[in-house]
Amino acid sequence: MWGGQLNWEATVTGVSVSPPPLPTRPLPPPPPASGQVLGPLSLDAYCQGIAYTVDLGGFVIDIAPYDGAVADGGTVYCAALNVLESGIDVYSHPIDLNEACLWQYGEAAGVRQEGADPPSWTCIPQ
């Protein structure tokens, strides 16, 4: 049995995250009637379906899933907070909201912002 001690020192600049693969898509709902919306966009569910990799200075860890989505102004990211109780937060590249609608509803869609605090979006058919 190994009796050494791990040093979990890392800085935000020393952490790199691989681009996330697309999450596993849920079954799409039936298509809407013309002129209707597809429905609300669930970014937390989208993020929770994504596995990601953290590189802590050469020590690579595969982790799944992100905790959920966080917004910073008009940009939304998937976030994993306090990864492995290290005090390090990991954020994805900005989420493509159209891609998230495609994942959730199974068809190409546009996005309409509904609320600002907290931000929310609705997927609309194209």
21 neighbors 51 (Cβ within 8 angstroms) = yes
Q: What is the pLDDT of residue 83?
A: 80
Cβ-based neighbours of 87, under 8 Å, separated by 6 or more: none
- pLDDT of 10 higher than 60: no
Domain boundaries, the chain: 34-125
pTM: 0.66
Model confidence at 82, in pLDDT bands (50, 70, 90)? confident
Contact 54, 63 (CB under 8 A): yes
Q: What is the dihedral of CA 76, 78, 79, 83, to 10 degrees?
A: -160
Q: Average of pLDDT values for 9-28?
A: 52
